[in-house]
Amino acid sequence: MNLEEIIKDTIIQNQAPIGFDEFMQLSLYYPKLGYYRSGSEKFGEKGDFITAPETSDLFGFCLAKQCAEVLSPDASILEFGAGSGVLAAQILFELGRLKKLPEHYYILELSAELKHRQQQTIANVLPELLDRVVWLDELPRGFCGVIIANEVLDAMPAKRIIQQKECFYELGVGLSQAGFDWQIKGAKLSKDDYALPPLMSEGYVTEINQQATAWIDSLYNAVDDALILLIDYGMHRDEYFHPQRKDGTLRCYHHHQASDNPFVNIGEQDITTSVNFSDVTDQASSTGFNVIGYATQAMFLLSLGIDEYLLSETDENKRITLAQQVKQLILPSAMGESFKVLALNTTQQVKLTGFKEQDLTHKL
């Protein structure tokens, strides 16, 4: 059976629509066939989308600078969903230059194919540091150091909900003649069970990501003394549940074409939803984390001196290339404002350089 048939079979067995979170889980993570479990090229020009570390080494260098500020000599870094391994290589390279190499650079990766690719990337670029990189299959216990997740929360399966007659219902996935279709799943939702938005217009659709908030809980149980840096496209609650955002934040990416149709190219396209950073922060605070900074990606990178990295390049041709990359990372029309950085920690409130120029925590 191919993945589409497997999902159809799951709906038939269920005798009712499945949640969109289950559809997204199967489409992205079904063993060997899901988008993130198959061998297809995903990142970069030949793939489907380009992430910040794929755009420029300076992204990883700035993150390394932030790590260096808090890393004690026996602490480590843990990266979730490390993509092609390029961010790990950038961070290790820059921490080596700053003489602040971590004891270990752990990577928790769900995909065997990506793990292999990450090993190749680091072996090619920094063979002398490969033995510091350790791949994990599950969360560690008592972790001390810095945890990084770039574009990981948006890849976690989310529920879709729809407003009908002044109530919210779960919008599930059922079968239609053409394939799949959006269908109401179950009874009206209660505010006791879901962080529902205020009432909007009839037919308003949005997303709720319970897996992302549950992941925050599991993270708290895994750490002893840690700084967590979550980087993703997303926004605070008022913007997330803006009346004009009436079709939600679901996006699919296939060969650099964006669409809002998850029912095509199954297993061959990325599916994402934006991160509701207020929900993440609420969960983090109630779990026990301190929220120590929230800024746009642009202001975070500028606070860490991305412009200084650029100006220190002496080769003019390379500087021109780097300038193009920096624009991509910081311009509002590119990734600068739609991406945010949220920092959490477990010990006392600290002021991080990354939030020197901007801290929007009050908006969350």
Residues that bind ligand SAM (CB under 6 A): 36, 43, 51, 53-54, 80-83, 87, 108, 110-111, 114, 150-152, 155-156, 215
Name the minimum Å distance from CB 310 to ligand SAM.
21
Instruction: Give whichever of 80 and 277 is closer to ligand SAM, judged by the CB atom.
Output: 80
Instruction: Give whichever of 87 and 342 is closer to ligand SAM, judged by the CB atom.
Output: 87
Q: Helix/strand/coil (H, E, C) string of 84-125?
A: CCHHHHHHHHHHHHCCCCCCCEEEECCCHHHHHHHHHHHHHH
Name the minimum Å distance from CB 311 to ligand SAM.
26
Residue nearest to ligand SAM (CB): 81
Structure tokens at 60: 């990883």
Name the minimum Å distance from CB 278 to ligand SAM.
20
Nearest to 174 by CA among 18, 307, 29: 18
CB burial class (10 A; 0-12, 13-18, 19+) of residue 151?
buried
Instruction: Give whichever of 110 and 184 is closer to ligand SAM, judged by the CB atom.
Output: 110
Name the minimum Å distance from CB 67 to ligand SAM.
15
With H, G, I as helix, E, B as strand and everything else as coil, classify residue 225.
strand
- Sheet strands (E) in the chain: 18-19, 76-80, 105-108, 133-136, 143-150, 159-164, 167-176, 179-185, 205-208, 223-235, 251-254, 257-259, 270-272, 275-276, 290-296, 339-345
Instruction: Give whichever of 44 and 305 is closer to ligand SAM, judged by the CB atom.
Output: 44
**Alpha-carbon span 136 to 115, nearest angstrom:** 10
**Alpha-carbon span 319 to 192, nearest angstrom:** 54
Nearest to 103 by CA among 73, 78, 129, 82: 73
Name the minimum Å distance from CB 174 to ligand SAM.
25
Q: Cα 27–29–30 angle (5° rounding)?
A: 75
Strands 143-150, 133-136: pairing is unpaired
Name the minimum Å distance from CB 362 to ligand SAM.
28
Instruction: Give whichever of 53 and 102 is closer to ligand SAM, judged by the CB atom.
Output: 53
Instruction: Give whichever of 133 and 155 is closer to ligand SAM, judged by the CB atom.
Output: 155
Instruction: Give whichever of 83 and 234 is closer to ligand SAM, judged by the CB atom.
Output: 83
Nearest to 11 by CA among 270, 263, 254, 203: 263
Nearest to 339 by CA among 297, 310, 300: 297
Name the minimum Å distance from CB 36 to ligand SAM.
4
Q: What pairs with residue 126 in β-bridges? A: none
Instruction: Give whichever of 35 and 169 is closer to ligand SAM, judged by the CB atom.
Output: 35
Name the minimum Å distance from CB 86 to ligand SAM.
7
**Alpha-carbon span 223 to 218, nearest angstrom:** 9
